[in-house]
Amino acid sequence: MNHTPPTHSGFGTLAIHAGQPPEATTGAVMTPIFQTSTYVQESPGKHRGYEYSRTDNPTRTAYQSCVAALEGAQHALAFSSGLATTDAILHTLRTGDHVISCDDVYGGTFRIFDKVFKKMGIEFSFVDLADLNQAEKAFRPNTKLLWMETPTNPMLKILDIQTLSSLAKKRGVLTVVDNTFMSSYFQKPLQLGADIVVHSVTKYMNGHSDVVGGVLATNNSQVYTELKFLQNAVGAVPAPMDCFLVMRGLKTLHVRMERHEKNAKEIAHFLEGHPKVERVIYPGLESHPQHALAKKQMSGFGGMITFFLKGDLAAARRFLENVQLFSLAESLGGVESLIEHPAIMTHASIPAETRKILGIHDNLIRVSIGIEEVSDLRADLEQALKEV
């Protein structure tokens, strides 16, 4: 019996079965955690495909195959964090190369670009890629990579993956899409023309706030070969236990994402109608300036909401100190609801001037809506808003 699901299987089937046939020697239905660093060889150089776990590990192989299936990709590579994944991709560049990045990129991504790779002579332009004119003007003869994150963080701007990818392709520039906010379930960047899709699996892909990890997927064999070399040569690989945990998380990705979205839609509407809230940003709201584009390129709107309180930093503090069910914490995408203050927390590494330009003001709050009972989430926000 062949336990490999056909590639045209539905998302939920792939999430549960892709890359994970029962284990050959025992029939174990769950892929074992191959907690080993090395593998016995029959004769020097003669082995069963595994020689050392930095290079390859069976638990990681299964996990990578599963992610590849979910992204509709030929190849996937896993790393020890989302930023280690970014690091590997940037290592394909050379001194003098130029990267175009969206301006309100994840804080840690901005930091590795600005503080690590700039020092090595790689040039960066941070551009509002929602403005296609600005995007087009940003290309230079030495541009090698177009880096986008959509929806952006925390302003939830939507970038047109298809148009931006084709602008890049015309110039021989590779496009990378950070798909962390939508997960493989709601957005398929490779189908829209991107060359590489990346995730911080720390967020929705694993979904249980108990692993830090990253993964990338691509259909470009040359890019894959180069990145596979870097995965081993630089060595930021995930441990077998983490691979197992992310694979377990992936099995419920489709179910979780549906519920995240259902809850988020209801909370977004609630906040939009609340007198103490100035403005709500959620791609699923008609009021989102790019709602139509969001509908076109995503199959759902996700679980992230950004909103502005009426008031100043003190009001925001008071609100955040009074939530009870929402945990005041960085990160997102777990089954539990989290709330945070980007200016002080996740986006502190972005200079105050830039934050101002991007609209990350002191009354801005970001929530990651979990999959609890939505009535409880709503009641918690309601009582905390009363304290403002």
Ligand X SMILES: *Cc1c(COP(=O)(O)O)cnc(C)c1O
Contact range with ligand X by CB under 6 A, out of 106-114, 167-175, 253-261, 295-303 = 106-114
Of 109, 184, 219, 263, the one binding ligand X (CB under 6 A) is 109
**CA–CA distance, 343 with 268 (Å, rounded to integer):** 21
- Contact between 180 and ligand X (CB under 6 A)? yes
Q: Which of 212, 335 has the CB closer to ligand X?
A: 212
Query: How many Å apart are CA 336 and CA 118, to the nearest integer?
Result: 36
Per-position x/- string for 259-288, each x denoting binding to ligand X as judged by CB under 6 A, each - no binding: ------------------------------
Q: Is 160 a catalytic residue?
A: no
Closest alpha carbon to 233 in 63, 88, 75, 50:
88
| 110 interacts with ligand X by CB under 6 A | no
Q: Counting contacts by CB under 6 A, is residue 211 touching ligand X?
A: no
**Helix, strand, coil proportions of the chain in percent (round to 5)?**
35, 15, 45
What span, in angstroms and rounded, lies between the C-alpha atoms of 387 and 385?
A: 5
Instruction: Answer yes or no: 54 catalytic.
Output: yes
Binding residue count for ligand X, defined by CB under 6 A: 16
Least Å from the CB of residue 333 to ligand X: 8
Cα(366)–Cα(329) distance, integer angstroms: 10
Q: Which residue is nearest to ligand X (CB)?
A: 82
Cα distance between residue 224 and residue 217, in whole Å? 8
Q: For this structure, is 295 an active site residue?
A: no
Spatial distance between the Cα atoms of 17 and 4, rounded to a whole number of angstroms:
7
Q: Does 149 participate in binding ligand X (rule CB under 6 A)?
A: yes
The residue from 178, 195, 242, 380 that is catalytic is 178
Residue 148, beta-bridge partner list: 177
By CB under 6 A, is residue 302 in contact with ligand X?
A: no
Tell me which of 57, 202, 209, 368 binds ligand X, using CB under 6 A: 202
Whole-angstrom distance, CA of residue 223 vs CA of residue 73: 13
Residue 106 binds ligand X, judged by CB under 6 A: yes
**Complex with ligand X: residue 19 or 82, whichever CB lies closer:** 82
Interaction of residue 81 with ligand X, rule CB under 6 A: yes
| Choice among 54, 228, 251, 378 that is catalytic | 54
Q: At what angle do helices 313-322 and 374-386 cross, to 10 degrees?
A: 130
Choose, by CB under 6 A, the member of 15, 66, 78, 83 that binds ligand X. 83
d(CA 255, CA 232): 34
Which of 60, 203, 256, 366 is labelled catalytic?
Answer: 203
Indicate which single residue of 32, 72, 108, 359 sits in contact with ligand X (rule: CB under 6 A): 108
| Minimum distance from residue 214 beta carbon to ligand X (Å) | 5
Report the residue number, 146 or 385, with the smaller CB distance to ligand X. 146
Distance (Å, whole) CA 73 – CA 94? 26
267 phi/psi in degrees, rounded to 5 = -65, -40
Q: How far is the CB of 332 from ligand X (least distance, A)?
A: 6
CB of 379 to ligand X, least distance (A): 28
Least separation in angstroms between residue 101's CB and ligand X is 12
Among 62, 56, 54, 53, CA closest to 28 = 62
Tell me 9's DSSP state. Answer: S
Interacting residue with ligand X among 16, 116, 212, 315 (CB under 6 A): 212
**Is residue 380 at the binding interface for ligand X, with CB under 6 A as the rule?**
no
Regarding 214 and contact with ligand X (CB under 6 A), the answer is yes
Known catalytic membership, residue 178: yes
Distance CA 52, CA 33 (A): 15
3-state secondary structure of 179: coil
* Cβ pair 191, 160 in contact under 8 A: no
**Smallest gap from residue 182 Cβ to ligand X (A):** 10
**Burial environment of residue 29 by CB neighbours within 10 A (0 to 12, 13 to 18, 19 or more):** exposed
Nearest-angstrom CA–CA distance, 98 and 88? 16
Q: Which of the residues are catalytic?
A: 54, 106, 178, 203
| Residue ranges binding ligand X (CB under 6 A) | 81-83, 106, 108-109, 149, 153, 178, 180-181, 200, 202-203, 212, 214
